[in-house]
Amino acid sequence: MAHQQRLKTKKNLILRVNYISSALSLVFGFMCIYFLNITEVIPYVFFLFSLLNLANTFAFKKHQNLSLMYNVTSLVTLFSCIVITLFSGGINSAFIFVLGLVAFAGYVTTKRYGEVYLYSAFIIVTLIYFQSILSLPFVRNVVPEASQDLFNFISILFSLYILGGVFGKILVKTHYNLYRSKLEVEQKVREKETLIKEVHHRVKNNLQTVSSLLSLQARNMKDEEMKKMIKSSQNRVNSMAMVHEMLYMREDLSKIEYKSYVEELSDYLVRSIKGTDNRIKVAIDIIDINLGIDTAIPLGLLINEAITNSLKYGIKDNGEGEISIALKKSQDEKDYVLNIGDNGDGYEESITPQTTTSLGLKLIYNLTRQLQGSILKDCTKKGTNYIITFKEIGQNFQPIG
């Protein structure tokens, strides 16, 4: 949209300059003949420029090639300006300033064109200077001496009007439109951020409502196993709610600071499962990283399951134990490596995601697959420990399968 607006602005600018310069050239040509008594070369160059420029402008209506129209106009202008300058006093002619308008117009169009025509103007002015010194016989000043001051005066007015009255007005208007568009975009961004914040806030509230409903349902149950299952589901819901809450609190709505999230999640799980009077130590070593929601939620669920399993089966009853969580970049800086586990009792090697009845263990492996990662059980340490390598996921959140 912005690119199209810039093209439209350039097109309108070039078209307006072409129409106005063609009209002024016709007027200037007639003034040369009827008021300045210039009957050779110069007025006819003005007429020829006007006709060629109009023809080029009308041709643009068919081919719609903006660069072609601009370059043809610039070349015609350069040629006309060189001839008029040479035959109106050379380096002393005020019409030589029109060369600067060509370079200025180039920079308005593109930096590349501006540089080309600027250097071309430098070369042309230098050649005109040496021509004036050498006084070449085939070039002469056809402006009568009595009309030279008036011709220079009109030439300066011509240049000033094109520069200020055309380029200046359009550029100021364009700048104003860009400023207004910037304000509108900033306002829309703020509105979008507010909307996204509200979405995260409502999702968090809805997840907390689900968590409360699960808690109420668990209270009315007599079966302890069912209570534990519902409590596990409640913790999973809360782990997702925390992500949305942290996104709602942040200025950057796309990512969350993951270390603080893991600290909050682990503290909640320890208090929820072991109570406030516990002997569990959680060692967290996480680099300063921000993860998007498509990575943060499945990774949070994975960490939730690993910590829950450690608290339920690794560190039993009110025993003393330690849970370690370390997250860093891989050696090639492309992936992340999560080391998570405990120093508890561990489980037998024969237990696998295929043979276990534990939903938590199945989820850990399935969530690793969702994160396009790999998981290894670290048998060199006491207890249950995992080494999980995963990638940051883009906008392709997939259901757990």
Q: Which of 184, 212, 238 is the last residue of a domain?
A: 184
Averaged pLDDT for residues 140-156: 89
Give me 48's structure tokens: 């020829």
User: 35 and 177: one domain?
Assistant: yes
User: 278 and 163: one domain?
Assistant: no
User: 137 and 30: one domain?
Assistant: yes
Averaged pLDDT for residues 358-383: 85
Q: How confident is the model at residue 338 (pLDDT cuts 50, 70, 90)?
A: very high
Q: CB 194: neighbour CB atoms within 10 A?
A: 11
Is residue 168 a part of any domain in this protein? yes
Is residue 202 a part of any domain in this protein? no
pLDDT of residue 340: 92
Averaged pLDDT for residues 358-373: 84
Instruction: Please give the helix or strand (H or E) that residue 170 lies within, else none.
Output: helix 169-219
Q: Which of 156, 184, 212 is the last residue of a domain?
A: 184
Is residue 245 a part of any domain in this protein? no
Q: Using one digit for the tens of pLDDT, what is the confidence trace for 204-233?
A: 788 788 878 888 887 878 787 788 788 788
Q: Which domain holds residue 90?
A: 1-184
Determine phi and psi for 158, rounding to 5 degrees. -60, -45
Residue 242 confidence (pLDDT) above 90: no
User: 137 and 1: one domain?
Assistant: yes
User: 37 and 166: one domain?
Assistant: yes
CA separation for the pair 13, 7 (Å, rounded): 10
Is residue 222 a part of any domain in this protein? no
- Return the top range by mean pLDDT from 132-136, 152-156, 248-252: 152-156
Averaged pLDDT for residues 285-313: 86
Is residue 204 a part of any domain in this protein? no
Q: How confident is the model at residue 324 (pLDDT cuts 50, 70, 90)?
A: very high
pTM of this structure: 0.54
In sequence order, the 6+-apart residues with CB closer than 8 A to the CB of 241 are 203, 204, 207, 208, 211
Q: What 3-state class would DSSP assign to 349?
A: coil
Is residue 397 a part of any domain in this protein? no
Answer for the pair 246, 258: CB distance below 8 angstroms, yes or no.
no
Q: Which residue has the higher pLDDT, 18 or 355?
A: 18
Q: Which of 184, 215, 244 is the last residue of a domain?
A: 184
Q: How confident is the model at residue 350 (pLDDT cuts 50, 70, 90)?
A: low
CA separation for the pair 189, 101 (Å, rounded): 39
Answer for the pair 148, 89: CB distance below 8 angstroms, yes or no.
yes
> Rg of the Cα trace of the chain?
38
Give the domain CATH number at 310.
3.30.565.10
Is residue 399 a part of any domain in this protein? no
Is residue 396 a part of any domain in this protein? no
Please report, in angstroms and rounded to a whole number, the separation of the first and last CA atoms in the chain: 40
Question: What is the count of structural domains for the chain?
Answer: 2
